[in-house]
Every structure is written in structure tokens, then in C-alpha cells.
Structure 1
Amino acid sequence: MPRIAALTPDQAPAGSHAALEAVQKTFGFIPNSIKTLAHAPAALNAYLALNQALGKSSLSTAEREVVALATSEVNECNYCVTAHSFFGKKAGLSESDVGRARSGELNALAALVRQIAQSRGQLTDAQIAAAHEAGLTDRKIVEVVAHVTLLTLSNYLNNIADPDVDFPPSAR
């Protein structure tokens, strides 16, 4: 049972209404994680604005899902692992890719994300050099950090609120 209620649009503060309507138009429904964020219009709008801005990063949709999966696995967020397993498959990741992204074994990007999340950003010179050697540019590394930050916000809130998962279950 959720520890913080997922608000319906009618229950949400006025400052959350436009954002909830936009999410409804985009997804055809409003995920419970977003309904939970709706308690705080500033947090909801900041989350959605950063998400929208990062959608224009150099990371492909599949790469963004790899970041989401690896971060959510480290942060033990069942809600986000489930949601991003679903979105990852829609972005072209296989079931095996999803599992390997979660474990950081899919590619250099997944490995870097796990290192960032596990170390809270305290990477060694060797880890950064390895990312560069694997072809990750400084731009990608900076964008990955921004995506990890966005996912960590969502992961932490979902871990605290424990919303009902409203995505198809992932294989664990």
C-alpha cells in the first residue's frame, strides 16, 4: 500500500494541473509516480522540465533507458525498474539487454552509470579514462550524470512513497 497517495488530477494542487494534463496527453494515462510528484507542483514541474530537456540530449532513446535501468537497479527502485524495462523494450532493447543494462554489463554506458550511482559520483581517474577509451565523450558523460540525477529523484521518491506499480511486471 502506498505510503504517499498518488493524487488524481482533481485532488492535486492547482499548480500541478497543467503538468498532469500534459502527461495524460503524452502517455494516455498518468503514471502513479507522477501522481505522487503532483503533491509538490514545483517538484513535478522541475522533474518534467528536466526530463523534457534531457530528451534532447545526445543520448538515444535506448541509451536513456539503459541509464534509467542501471540507475534504478542500483537505487533498488522496483517501480522504475518495472517502468523502464517496459520502456526499454519499446526502445528496442531485448529482455537480455534489459537485464544486462540493469547489472551494468550491457556496455560501457551501463557500466559507467552503475559506477556513478554506486559511488555517488565519486569516480576515479581510471574509471573516467575507461569511459573515454570506450568512446564516451565528455558531452555524453555530463548528460549521463544529468540523467542519473533525474532518475535518482524519481527512484528516491518512489522508494519512499511506494506507489502501486502501473506498468507490466518486469522479469526479475
Structure 2
Amino acid sequence: MSRIKALSIEHSPASTQAPLKGIEKTMGFLPNVFRTLANSPVSLSGYLQLSQNLSKGELSPVEREIIALAVGQVNECEYCVSAHVLYAARRDLSDEEIQAARRGEGTIFASLAHKVATQRGRISDADLAAAREAGLSDSQIVELVVNVAHLTFTNYVNNVAQTDVDFPLVEV
């Protein structure tokens, strides 16, 4: 059971109701993570704004899913891993690719995201050089780090709240 209430649209602060309705319309349901974030209008707004900005970045949706899988696993966020396993499969990642990403393997995105998350950004010169040798630009590296921070934000909210998982459950 969740330790922080996931608010219905009707019981959420007025400033969160329109964004929540938009999410529900887009996704076909309103995931509990957004209902939990609605407890803090500024937090929901900040999350959504950064999500929108990152969706326009250089990293592809598949690359962002790979990062989400790696970071969610590092942070042991059952909610986010469950959600992103589903989303990754919908983006045609195989079970093997999903498992590799969760281990921080398979791609430079998974590897670097895993290292950034586990080492709290204090990666080695060799790790940074490996990312560049794999073809990542400095712009992509910065964007990857911001994605890690953005994902860590929701991982931590869900871990603190113990948000009820409303996706097919995946154990971390």
C-alpha cells in the first residue's frame, strides 16, 4: 500500500487537474506516479516540463528507455522498472535487450547511465572517453546525465511513496 496518497483528478490541487486530464487522455489511464506527484503541484509541473523538453532532445525514445531501465534498476524502483519494461517492449526492444539495459550493459547508453547513477556522476576519465569513442557527443552526454537525474527524481518519489504499481509487475 502506498505511503503517500495517489490523488484522483477530482481531489488533486486545481493547478494539477488540467495536466492530469491531459496525461489520462494521452495514455488512456492516469498512472499512479502522476497521481502521487499531484500532491505537489510544482513537482508535477517540473517533472512534466523537463519530460517535454527531453523528448525534443538528441536522444531517441529507445535510447531514453534504455537509460530508464538502467537507472530504475540501480535505484531499485519497482514502479519505474515495471513501467519502462512495458514501454521498452512497445518500442520493440527484445527481452534480452531489456535485461541487458537493466544490468547497464548492451549499449553505451545503458553502460554510461548505470555508471552515472551508481557513481553519482563521478565517472572516471576512462568512462567518459569510452562514451566519446562510442560516438556520443558532449551534448548527448550532458543530455544523458540530465535524463539520469530526471529518472532518479521519479525513482526516489516512487521509492519513498511506495507507489502502487499499476503496470505489469517486474521485480527489481
- TM bucket normalised to smaller: over 0.9
Is 1:95 the counterpart of 2:95? The answer is yes
Change (3 A) 1:80 1:128: same
> 4+ residue runs of structure 1 moved beyond 3 angstroms?
none
1:82-105 Cα offsets, whole Å, 9 max, x none, are 000000011111111110000011
Secondary structure of the residue that 1:18 maps to in structure 2? helix
Which residue number corresponds to residue 152 of structure 1? 152
Rate the CA distance shift 1:41–1:171 in 2: closer, same or farther, 3 A: closer
One-letter amino acid matched to 1:76: E
Counterpart for residue 76 of structure 1: 76
Q: CA RMSD in A?
A: 1.0
2:58 is paired with a residue whose SS is coil
- CA distance in 2 between counterparts of 1:68 and 1:26 reads 20
* Cα distance change on mapping 1:141 and 1:77 into 2, 3 Å: same
Matched residue, 2:48: 48
Unpaired runs of at least 5, structure 2: none
| Equivalent residue letter for 1:159 | N
1:171 positional shift? 6.7
**CA deviation map 1:27-62 (0-9, x unaligned):** 011100110000000000110110011011111111
Cα distance in 2 for residues equivalent to 1:53 and 1:25? 20
- 1:23-172 superposed matches below 5 A: 23-170=23-170
Instruction: Count residues in correspondence.
Output: 172
* TM-score for both structures, normalised by structure 2: 0.97
> How much does 1:169 deviate?
2.5
Q: Aligned pair in 2 of structure 1 residues 151, 48: CA closer, same or farther (>3 Å)?
A: same
Under a length normalisation based on structure 1, what TM-score does the superposition of the two structures give?
A: 0.97
Task: Report % sequence identity.
Answer: 47
Q: Structure 1 stretches of 5 or more lacking a match?
A: none
